[in-house]
Amino acid sequence: MMIKKDIYWTGYIDWALRNFHGYSTPSGSTYNAYLLLDEKPTLIDTVKRYGYEEMLYNIREVIDPSKIRYIISNHTEMDHSGSIGKMLEHCPGAEVVCSAKGEEGLKKHFGSDWKFKVVTTGDSISIGKRTLKFFPVPMVHWPDSMVTYCPQEKILFSNDAFGQHHASSERFADEVGIETVCKEAEKYYANIVLPYGSQVVKALEALQSLPIETICPSHGLVWRRAEDIKRIIALYTQWAQYQSEPRVAIVYDTMWHSSEKMALRLCQLLEKDGLAVKLMSLQAVHISDAMTEVMRSRVICIGSAILNNKILPSMGAFLTYMKGLKPKNRSGFTFGSYGWSQIGFKELEDALHESGITKLCDSVYSNWVPDEGELKRLEEVVIKIKQAIL
Ligand code: FEO
């Protein structure tokens, strides 16, 4: 698949992938490798180890792999580096170009004696008619991450940044539909990039002077229309600043429907006041989808039943996940039902704090089954939510 003259997509489409280290991927994913034909043919990133045969087939459609002179490793994570070793069997003289942290990580992962060429900010290599320039972007996604820019083509090979988990035979975002691709990019950001907002801001600043006509990420679709590039960069800017929409996310799990009763009443009251709300039971919604909604929303309501003095295990998993992703600049409220002790609710409240979410108002906890008086207390909560949102 030609992206531009003499620049080919040679990656692997992972149609069957349904879980990417805990992130649900109902649309599968792709690992994008790009082959640049020039005096020194260059491969930018590879694919997961199990996609190697397909990548090699794609490369052979274009060039004899022994001719490859450089393999650019923008990121050590194995969805991109997993096939470098196998590729080097075909082109043993090729240099592996990466950041200093990349060299460290690749050696640790593969114990390799590869020929490394370590680059840092602004370094470039000539591959013939074209130049490749490198910009480390630490923590977007790992300390080793970097992006590669080709000034002659105005292409940014952005690795994980601007990516989406989406398998399709189309290669360009505008072919799939920009709304779909932006939604996938949003889920990707919420579940992969969210904790690294300040590093994303720095990376966007470093790249803002580059004229960009095409963004080739390492997952999903390529951005080629000027309006789409502008849109995804604007979205990244907004997400990196932890901006939110005037929405409420309610995430809960229930044992005997008491916490659910509270969640439903809260939802009804918010709807009655015309507020946008999403009600998510962890029995039905995957934590990665709940997390996407949390990133979108200004107020986060978390509810659980208490089991053996602890919150429910599904809620424990969600909170562990959310604490790692740290959706800052949001307000939070906790609720739930208990039998004989409220001690377990401390986990809910601590998790909000650890996630960087500010407590909005007093929690509402109900003994056994909430009565109408307890449910009415939620009306006061809705007033606070409204104030926080507006
Ligand atoms: Fe797609 Fe952080 O690897």
Q: What is the DSSP string of 353-379?
A: HHTTEEE-S--EEEESS--HHHHHHHH
350 as an active site residue: the answer is no
SS3 351: helix
Interatomic CA distance for residues 270 and 382, integer angstroms: 6
Query: How does pLDDT run along the chain (390 residues), one tens digit per residue?
Result: 999 999 999 999 999 999 999 999 999 999 999 999 999 999 999 999 999 999 999 999 999 999 999 999 999 999 999 999 999 999 999 999 999 999 999 999 998 889 999 999 999 999 999 999 999 999 999 999 999 999 999 999 999 999 999 999 999 999 999 999 999 999 999 999 999 999 999 999 988 899 999 999 999 999 999 999 999 999 999 999 999 999 999 999 999 999 999 999 999 999 999 999 999 999 999 999 999 999 999 999 999 999 999 999 999 999 999 999 999 999 999 999 999 999 999 999 999 999 999 999 999 999 999 999 999 999 999 999 999 998
Per-residue burial over 119-141, b if 16 or more Cβ lie within 10 Å, else e, is beeebebebeebebbbbbbbbbb
State in Å: Cα 90 to ligand 1 middle: 24
Parallel, antiparallel, or unpaired for β 330-338 and 297-307? Answer: parallel
One of 8, 12, 70, 75 is an active-site residue; which one? 75
In the reported structure, the alpha carbon of residue 32 is separated from the centroid of ligand 1 by a whole-number distance in angstroms of 11
Cβ < 6 Å from ligand 1: which residues?
75, 77, 79-80, 141-142, 160, 218-219
CA 141 to ligand 1 center in whole angstroms: 7
Catalytic residue at 21? yes
The DSSP 8-state label assigned to residue 194 in this structure reads G
| pLDDT score, position 285 | 98
Q: Is there a catalytic annotation at residue 79?
A: yes
User: In angstroms, what is the span from residue 35 Cα to ligand 1's centroid?
Assistant: 19
Among 153, 160, 228, 253, the active-site one is 160
Ligand 1 atom with the smallest distance to the CA of 219 is: 1
Query: By alpha-carbon position, which residue is closest to atom 3 of ligand 1?
Result: 77
pLDDT of residue 3: 96
77 among known catalytic residues: yes
Determine contact, residues 135/206, Cβ cutoff 8 Å.
yes
CB 248 within 8 A of CB 389: yes
Closest CA to 20 of 223, 158, 160, 196: 160
User: Rounded to the nearest whole angstrom, what is the distance from the C-alpha of residue 253 to the centroid of ligand 1?
Assistant: 31
Cα(193) to centroid(ligand 1), Å: 10
Gyration radius of the chain over CA positions: 24
Supply the residue whose CA is at minimum distance from atom 1 of ligand 1.
160
Rounded to the nearest 5°, which phi and psi values hold at 284? -120, -25
82-98 pLDDT tens trace? 999 999 999 999 999 99
The amino acid occupying position 144 is D
Catalytic annotation, pick one of 38, 219, 253, 374: 219
- Ligand 1 centre and the CA of 77: distance in Å? 5
Reference 129, options 247, 40, 253; nearest CA is 40
Question: Residue 145 CA: which ligand 1 atom is closest?
Answer: 2
Identify the active-site residue in 12, 70, 80, 141. 141
Kindly give the number of the ligand 1 atom that is closest to the alpha carbon of 163.
Answer: 1
